[in-house]
Amino acid sequence: MTFQEALYALGVRENTLSEKEKMKLDRDGFLPLPNLVPLVQVARMRSAMERMFIEERTGEEGMHGECTNMQNKTTEFDICFTHPRFLAAVAYVLKGEFRSLGIHSRPNRPGRGHQPLHVDYGGPPPRLGEYYVCNSIWLLTDFTQENGATRVVPGTHRSGKHPQEVMKDPLEAHPEEIELIGTAGTVVVFNSHLWHGATLNRSQHDRPNLTSFWCLRNDPHTDRSSSDWGVLNDKTYAALNEAQRRLFDYKPTAR
């Protein structure tokens, strides 16, 4: 099965995104997809995520503070690599054959979370229209001005610059930044060359979310030897169909 056949089998068509949605991804570098996940499913995903935080003690003092490769730990997050509109947006940003860099989550505890504006890429800024990485944030609660909604600077994926080259301090606010305020069940797909970052969670509660992260398969700057991000384990590989497997790397366990 070719990669294009896999995307077709997963429901992605030329017109899965509207022209307006494609234009927004081109121009602004991000696209909110409101109500992509039904609220009952949001609740199940959130419970699965919270169980994982407890089991892995994620976010506790001294712990690594992030659950990674969650595609290997439950089927509750399969929508993060199977929803046709979501996949169509990733395919539109990356153009060529891509693969998952995994489904991850950080709890964004109250009083924490503020990140510098950054891109999710170790290589040089991309040429216009030739993007290597695409990320997405899955809102498992409403994102508000209080609970540390992600900030983005629209259009900066086209700037040919990284934030640290332009800003004295990328922790500071950027005059053109906006916050991704939205309701639970929304998914925001963003070009990972877009300048972005979480903001301080000033509320009394965690800000539950997932990220589903992707890169071009032939990206020369993603160091695949040192990272297991997006690699399927034997159990998940066995459970997926052929089209879904094309979206990941798989390393069989040595026996």
Ligand X SMILES: O=C(O)CCC(=O)C(=O)O
Contacts of 207 (CB under 8 A, 6+ apart): 107, 108, 113, 141, 143, 147, 148, 149, 198, 201
Q: Is 201 in the site for ligand X (CB under 6 A)?
A: no
User: In whole angstroms, how close is the CB of 38 to ligand X at the nearest point?
Assistant: 22
Amino acid at 139: L
User: In whole angstroms, how close is the CB of 213 to ligand X at the nearest point?
Assistant: 7
**Secondary-structure breakdown of the chain: helix, strand, coil percentages, each rounded to the nearest 5:** 25, 20, 55
Residue among 120 and 206 whose Cβ is closer to ligand X: 120
Choosing from 211, 222, 236, 244, the residue that interacts with ligand X (CB under 6 A) is 211
User: In whole angstroms, how close is the CB of 180 to ligand X at the nearest point?
Assistant: 8
- Cβ-contact 134, 94 below 8 angstroms: yes
Q: Is 150 in the site for ligand X (CB under 6 A)?
A: yes
Please tell me the count of residues contacting ligand X according to CB under 6 A: 9
Residue among 117 and 232 whose Cβ is closer to ligand X: 117
Q: What whole-number distance in Å separates Cα of residue 225 and Cα of residue 227? A: 6
Residue among 7 and 137 whose Cβ is closer to ligand X: 137
DSSP secondary structure, 142-160, as one string: -B-TTTTPPEE-TTGGGSS
Strand partners, 209: 139
Choosing from 33, 37, 198, 216, the residue that interacts with ligand X (CB under 6 A) is 198
- Cβ-contact 195, 163 below 8 angstroms: yes
Q: What whole-number distance in Å separates Cα of residue 246 and Cα of residue 251? A: 13
Residue among 136 and 244 whose Cβ is closer to ligand X: 136
Residue among 7 and 134 whose Cβ is closer to ligand X: 134
Region of 84-92, 168-176, 193-201, 242-250 interacting with ligand X (CB under 6 A): 193-201
What is the footprint of ligand X within residues 53-82 (CB under 6 A)? Answer: none
Q: Is 163 in the site for ligand X (CB under 6 A)?
A: no
How many residues does this entry show for the chain?
Answer: 255
User: In whole angstroms, how close is the CB of 83 to ligand X at the nearest point?
Assistant: 19
Choosing from 185, 197, 208, 230, the residue that interacts with ligand X (CB under 6 A) is 197
Helix axes 84-94, 19-28, angle to 10 degrees: 50
**Where do contacts with ligand X occur on this chain (CB under 6 A)?**
115, 120, 137, 150, 196-198, 209, 211
